[in-house]
Amino acid sequence: MEIKDLTNEQVINFMEYLGSDLSPKSNDRQLIFNTCLCHNGDSYKLFYYTESKTFHCYSSCGHIGSLIDLLIHINKYDFKDAVNEIKNFFGISNQPMLRKGFRIKKKLKQDDIRDIQIELLPTSKKPYVYKIFQQIPIEEWERENISFEVLKTYQIHYNPYENQIVIPHFCWHDKDRPVGIRVRNLDEDKAKSFGKYIPLWYDSKCYNHRLSLNLYGLNINEQAIKKRKKVIVFEGEKSVLQMATMYKNNPSVAICGSNFSREQKKILLDLGIEELIIAFDRQFKTKGDEEYIAWKNKISKLVQDIKDVVSISVIWDEDNLLDYKDSPSDKGKKIFEKLLKNRVNIIQFEGVIK
């Protein structure tokens, strides 16, 4: 797959990773995003035309171009860095395609991850708006083994008007400061149209934030992680809540997606961890199939920049204990502990299958 082959859903996922959410007014011909990316705006005038695969900002900035051009524009990247970030996010091979008259440049070494600086996310306007919603037991998540006590601890609320679970996110550096609010769409139609997890929309304002600059659950679990010198990294918020229901001392966080950013790794390394456990969803149906190989390769690539810095292991379901797309925590404590016990060291993991 090449960048030009990205689907609409993949573009939406990448834009959410960057911190720009999708407008409900989007359709199959045009996806409409928040202008916070291209010029720190707060309107929905950044259009992505699905046929031409180009962006056009219909505001003062007037940006026009591809996804690569947008990344160059917002992060001041050169072309190569923009391409690499997109390819790394989607696990696209970086094998160069040669053309006559061109030579491959030597790959530049990245800065040591321990030396990078992390941008602190701003506090949104009306940051405590989530408190206007109900804090009640949520039947759908009770069935997913998440207790009401845990919902209260993590300040989870429920919006009955939109049938959404409201999930506030707090700053990794200042545990009491909200930086964004996400929701879980319980209506299947909304989940299919806009995604299961999206930023909260309330009173014509979107409470989005750059997911790559924060870790869900760290505000609650930092001391447990420091004490055990170990962290379990999940994809989604729900897994952190399931772990909190199972364990009093919960050393887990969620990256809110499948892209493990350098900033997120840096935050965890600074806690003094000695082991980092990858506990991503089971994104394959059968051992050895195409999805299995691609998912294994993506996970391996995500930790290349820290595997010489900290011990890394991977929860990898070789025994079919999970269903397709299950999180390792979805089947309860007994299954999770079996998966945890059988986790694979990254060196062994990279040799599982080529």
Distance of CA 241 to the CA centre of its chain: 16
Q: Which of 94-108, 119-133, 306-320 has the lowest mean pLDDT?
A: 94-108
Between CA 91 and CA 94 the distance in angstroms is 9
pLDDT band at 35 (very low <50, low <70, confident <90, very high): confident
> What pLDDT is recorded for position 201?
86
Its pTM stands at 0.77
pLDDT band at 98 (very low <50, low <70, confident <90, very high): very low
Q: Which of 61-75, 92-106, 154-168 has the lowest mean pLDDT?
A: 92-106
* Residue with the larger pLDDT of the pair 152 and 70: 152
Tens digits of per-residue pLDDT, 267-321? Answer: 999 999 999 999 999 999 999 999 999 999 999 999 999 999 999 999 999 999 9
Residue 35 exposed, middle or buried by CB count within 10 Å (0-12, 13-18, 19+) = buried
Q: Which of 40-44, 169-173, 187-191, 245-249 has the lowest mean pLDDT?
A: 40-44
pLDDT band at 95 (very low <50, low <70, confident <90, very high): low
Compute the average pLDDT of residues 73-94.
83
> What pLDDT is recorded for position 39?
64
Architecture of the 3-93 domain:
Alpha-Beta Complex (3.90)
Distances (CA, A) of 162 to 13, 70, 166, 185, 279: 22, 32, 10, 8, 31
Enumerate the CATH 3.40.1360.10 domain ranges in the chain, comma separated: 218-350
Q: Is 341 helix (H, G, I), strand (E, B) or coil?
A: helix
Enumerate the CATH 3.90.580.10 domain ranges in the chain, comma separated: 3-93
Are 266 and 114 spatial neighbours (Cβ–Cβ below 8 Å)?
yes
Helices 67-75 and 8-18 sit at what angle, rounded to 10 degrees?
Answer: 0
CATH fold of 218-350 reads Dna Topoisomerase Vi A Subunit; Chain: A, domain 2 (3.40.1360)
* Residue with the larger pLDDT of the pair 121 and 151: 151
Are 171 and 179 spatial neighbours (Cβ–Cβ below 8 Å)?
yes
> What pLDDT is recorded for position 143?
97
Task: Looking at the chain, list the stretches that DSSP marks H as alpha helix, in order from N- to C-terminal side.
Answer: 8-18, 36-39, 67-75, 79-90, 139-142, 148-153, 188-194, 218-228, 237-246, 262-269, 290-302, 333-341, 346-350
Compute the average pLDDT of residues 60-89.
85
Helix (H) and strand (E) counts in the chain: 13, 15
> What pLDDT is recorded for position 105?
40
pLDDT band at 124 (very low <50, low <70, confident <90, very high): confident
pLDDT band at 40 (very low <50, low <70, confident <90, very high): low
